[in-house]
Amino acid sequence: MTLADDALLVQGVTTRAGSFELGPIDLDVASGRVLSILGPSGAGKTMLLETIAGFRAAVAGSIRLFGRELGQLPPESRAVGFVFQDAALFPHLSVRKNVGFALRARGERSHERVDELLGRFAITHLAERSPRSLSGGERQRVALARALAARPELLLLDEPLSALDRPTRDDLRTVLQELLCGLGIPAIHVTHDRDEALEIGDQVAVVVAGQVRQMASSDEIVAKPEDDTCARLLGWSELGVGSLDRDILVLGDLAVPTSDSLDRWNGPVSVFYRPEAVLLGADAVGSRGPTHFRATVDRVLPTTPLARVTLGGRPALTVLLLPRDLGRLGLRAGITVDVELPPDSLRVFRPTGA
């Protein structure tokens, strides 16, 4: 990606709040693309958005939006839309007036624009209602409509779905995806929810303790997390501490060749696996490779959408699979089954601090 393609270019941005320091952060987002920032609470994700929006001053670095330097501009001059976690609707104004707030602030009176946005987010019937009377999902639709009314050149979304119940969240996630696809402006979406980040973001950046740990496309970041923290955030489970000796990983009774060479690191390593990639029973019988072993089923939990099977032995592991496979493979507590860990479902990392 060349410089000219980057609608948003964040370089070396550093912000402080008390003893917490965020950055230096480097990011770039092209027009029509969405960057999802994934991280645990307290990582500085919201602080980064607040800095880009101008609610918080950066102590260093530059933020360029379509070539304009935003650093010294007040929030109202940045053309950056912000959708807050709790929607932050103006409680004393009706839905219509909330959506029309930006137009009114500029002295425009465009009923058509407000009507169009109300229609687009399917909230026309709520136009005269007070925000206090709306459900969480309705509030976020109003917040999106309100942010777009200002015709922003960048949209920032701070955990817009995290306060919603599951069906509403799934619903709004689709709305959000379609919206962001068609907007033609860059967007940054912050979340602590892995699925949300992967579903909405074209690119995902993992932010931990004020630093970007890894930034890559959704597919790549899930397949190849670069450290144990990223792996955990992206759904990898820890298998235990093994040892690496010239590309041979030893963990419990397993000794497998690994492609994760870790720059010729020899010694203890943290081993992670993808719990949904493990094959069990009849599915694992075909293979007799080094990652094949037999283990006893400790527990079978028929949770949805994926059921959970815990296996005893060395190493102990939890496997996720479709509930219908429980019956097909005849899995139940107490039986001994074949287990296959596909090589690309294993990752090894140097222990934290090494």
Residues in 25-54 at the binding interface with other proteins, rule: CB under 8 A = 50, 53-54
Residues in 189-208 at the binding interface with other proteins, rule: CB under 8 A = none
Residue position matching structure tokens 């962001």: 180
Convert residues 100-129 into a mask of x (bound to other proteins by CB under 8 A) and - (unbound). -xx--xx-----------------------
Q: Alpha-carbon distance 226 to 246, whole Å?
A: 20
Selected from 61, 75, 240, 290, the binder of other proteins by CB under 8 A is 75
Q: Alpha-carbon distance 214 to 217, whole Å?
A: 10
Q: How far does CA 132 lie from the centroid of its chain?
A: 29
Judge contact between 67 and 11, C-beta under 8 A.
no
Q: Does 74 bind other proteins (CB under 8 A)?
A: yes
Smallest gap from Cβ 104 to other proteins, in A, equals 8
Segment near other proteins (CB under 8 A); pick from 31-39, 85-93, 270-278, 322-330: 85-93
Q: Alpha-carbon distance 111 to 96, whole Å?
A: 9
Q: Does 150 bind other proteins (CB under 8 A)?
A: yes
Please identify, using beta-carbon distances, which residue of 180 and 271 lies nearer to other proteins: 180
Segment near other proteins (CB under 8 A); pick from 22-30, 60-68, 81-89, 223-231: 81-89
Please identify, using beta-carbon distances, which residue of 143 and 164 lies nearer to other proteins: 143
Number of residues that bind other proteins (CB under 8 A): 27
Question: In a 3-state reduction of DSSP, which class is residue 37?
Answer: strand
Q: Please spell the DSSP secondary structure of 60-125, one letter per residue.
A: EEEEEETTEE-TTS-GGGS-EEEE-TT----TTS-HHHHHTHHHHHTT---HHHHHHHHHHTT-GG
- By the criterion CB under 8 A, which residues form the site for other proteins? 50, 53-55, 74-76, 78, 80-82, 84, 86, 88-92, 101-102, 105-106, 146-147, 149-150, 152
